[in-house]
Amino acid sequence: MGRWIEQKERGAQWTMHFMVWLCRGRSRWVADALLYPITLYFFITAGKNRAASRHFFERSTGRYTPLDHYRQLLCFARSLLDRVAILSGAAGEFTVVPHGREQLHALRGHTRGGILLGSHLGSFEAARILLKDRTDTDIHIVAYFARSEKIRRALDAINPELALNVIDPSAPDAIFRMRDVIENGGILAILGDRTGIGEKRLPVDFLGDPTELPAGPYFLASILGCPVYCFFGVRVGTRRYESHLFKLADQIQLQRGQRDVQAREYAQAYADRLAEMARRHPYNWFNFFEFWPERKTETENSS
């Protein structure tokens, strides 16, 4: 699952800033129109990504055409423009249909916070900001942005204040910052579908085949002693999202000698929720790399 780190970020920095400039002004329609040729360019020049997309669609929907990959890329591009609009102060223009949001309202009555375990299915950050806007919840995102630095810099420039709520898990003080968030009743939003460099992995079944997911979120939740929720924010139309919240555990307890086995059970429960959402919203799948280890091996052997 650390294979995504090997992929080089594509796209020129000036192009991203130009698109951000268009979205922040009154030229969103120009940015929307430009998405079609830009998406077509990435579609034509990304052979490996297209192969990975085909493998995903074959598992999630049982079929694949090149149009599926184009629509997947277009959905991703549109979600980026939505993030720009939201960060620019237009969150009120978006409609969010919530499912399970009342669980966060209940959590606010407790002294400790919790963990939202998200993914690269849909727009995790857009959904996080929209959720924060509508629930007035203190949400901090924990993420490794080594391969999305250009996008990150462009988005952080829009709203630097929100960037202060981002915790880099590789930072020396990361665990202390995360502990403080939970002890103060806040929320840690963590991506559960990608591992970082050297991070421990857990084997799971996802959409019918074996892959690996990071163990870190479950070990962290065990240390912090807080509830864990699966959280997905999917784009379902123009300025329209659905948020889905499922409780994974009131508290994750890992016993000595059984930590890996027990953590794997939680990771599998998360993988099952992720698979369910992937089948329902396949064009929101934004992992553009081989998600299954044996598929990567097959591609390398055939090249």
DSSP secondary structure string, 170-201? TSTTHHHHHHHHHHTT-EEEEE-S---TT--E
- d(CA 18, CA 24) in angstroms, rounded, equals 10
Tell me which residue of 85, 80, 59 sits closest to 10, measured CA to CA: 80
Look up the domain containing 259 and give its range.
2-302
CB 200 within 8 A of CB 268: no
| 209: three-class secondary structure by DSSP | strand
pLDDT, residue 254, reads 92
H runs (alpha helix) in the chain: 13-24, 28-45, 47-60, 66-85, 102-107, 124-135, 149-156, 160-163, 174-183, 216-224, 259-280, 293-302
Q: Which residue has the tokens 């579609």?
A: 43
pTM across the whole model: 0.85
CB 274 within 8 A of CB 59: no
pLDDT by residue for the chain (303 residues), tens only, comes to: 444 334 444 445 556 666 666 666 666 777 778 888 888 988 888 778 899 999 999 999 999 999 999 999 999 989 988 888 887 777 888 888 888 888 777 776 667 889 999 999 998 777 777 676 666 677 888 877 655 555 556 656 666 666 677 888 888 898 999 999 999 888 899 989 987 655 789 999 999 999 999 999 999 999 999 999 999 999 999 989 999 999 999 999 999 889 999 999 999 999 999 999 999 999 999 998 899 986 554 444 444
pLDDT, residue 6, reads 41
CB 7 within 8 A of CB 287: no
pLDDT, residue 55, reads 95
Q: Which long-range contacts (CB under 8 A, 24 or more apart) does 213-219 make?
A: 213/1, 213/267, 213/270, 213/271, 214/1, 215/260, 215/263, 215/267, 216/169, 216/190, 217/115, 217/117, 217/190, 217/192, 218/252, 218/254, 218/263, 218/266, 218/267, 219/254, 219/259, 219/263
Q: Which two tokens stand for residue 88?
A: 């620019």
Q: Which amino acid is at 154?
A: A
pLDDT, residue 150, reads 59
pLDDT, residue 102, reads 80
- d(CA 93, CA 247) in angstroms, rounded, equals 28
- Number of Cβ within 10 Å of residue 52's Cβ equals 23
- d(CA 145, CA 127) in angstroms, rounded, equals 18
CB 241 within 8 A of CB 234: yes
pLDDT, residue 268, reads 98
| 107: three-class secondary structure by DSSP | helix
Domain tally for the chain? 1
- d(CA 144, CA 168) in angstroms, rounded, equals 6
Distance from first CA to last CA of the chain, Å, rounded?
21
